Amino acid sequence: MINSRVALLFKNLPDKYPTMLARDYTHVLNHLMQLWNTPKFESYMHELMIDHRGGRQGFPLKGIEELLFLSKLHDVCKKNGYKLPQFEDPWESIPVSNPTPLGFMHVIERGQQHAIEIFLGAGVRIDYRFEGGQTPLMIAAINGQLGIVRYLIHQGAEVNAADSGKYTALHWAAFYNHMQIAGELCIAGALINAVQNSGDTPLSLAVTRGHFAASKLLLGCQADPNIAGNHGSPLAIAQKRNSHELLVLLRQYSARA
């Protein structure tokens, strides 16, 4: 799948087209194109070229050469004030059976990463807002798609984006007791005590739903057990539910009613 922004950028430079990146590192190339014209481009490029964490397999020489040329091309474009256009309607160019926002949502719900890559490669933003303000990351969290959550985070999805009800992806993971997803979001920097419109934190929602595993994980990630929303504190909610297991857990973390 040819990224439409890459195709436009290399329209007059066909011999310099990043063939290896397009073939073997599609997610990297797509993410670079999404960051083009933004301050994050240079920091992401630096991250690709220098492995600060260690243990990551480096790019082949051809891939490095293509990355270096992209970096130089970005510098030239920036110096000359050239900006790639933001395609207002990328949906028309998407080669899938249902090239619509609903179709995009469905492939996320089903965990179809290749199809997701096609949508993103065509120019659909990684933090596209569906009805209700939900992002692809939220849809993946709601549907328990751990692999897609990891993929979207790696591609630079905003983990703390909030929908129209101020629910974040972590709220939704807690609501549906998707413990592993909640853990991935916490590692990625999700705000553990984010508050939605009713004053509920992810922990409040997990307790309200009676989800012991998610509650324990969130508390282990230093969730504050004493933030009270419209329905009271997590401990008060657990008391109303008469949930002995949750009451014991919350008291271990100094929760108050």
Which residue has tokens 């397999």? Answer: 57
**Is the model's pTM score more than 0.75?**
no
Q: 232 has which bridge partners?
A: 229
Residue 26 confidence (pLDDT): 80
Residue 69 confidence (pLDDT): 95
For residue 216, being part of any structural domain is answered with yes
For residue 237, being part of any structural domain is answered with yes
For residue 131, being part of any structural domain is answered with no
> Distance between terminal CA atoms of the chain?
55
Residues 224 and 116: their CA atoms lie apart, in Å, by 35
Instruction: Dump pLDDT digits (tens) for 135-159.
Output: 999 999 999 999 999 999 988 899 9
pLDDT exceeds cutoff 90 at 249? yes
For residue 241, being part of any structural domain is answered with yes
Q: pLDDT band at residue 57, thresholds of 50, 70 and 90?
A: low
pLDDT exceeds cutoff 50 at 164? yes
Residue 211, CB half-sphere, CA atoms under 13 Å: how many?
23
Which of 22-31, 84-93, 131-140 has the largest mean confidence? 131-140
For residue 88, being part of any structural domain is answered with no
Tokens of 121: 């490669």
Domain tally for the chain? 1
What domain range is 200 assigned to?
Answer: 159-256
Domain of 166, CATH number, reads 1.25.40.20
Instruction: Dump pLDDT digits (tens) for 168-219.
Output: 999 999 999 999 999 999 999 999 999 999 999 999 999 999 999 999 999 9
Q: pLDDT band at residue 90, thresholds of 50, 70 and 90?
A: low
For residue 250, being part of any structural domain is answered with yes
For residue 6, being part of any structural domain is answered with no
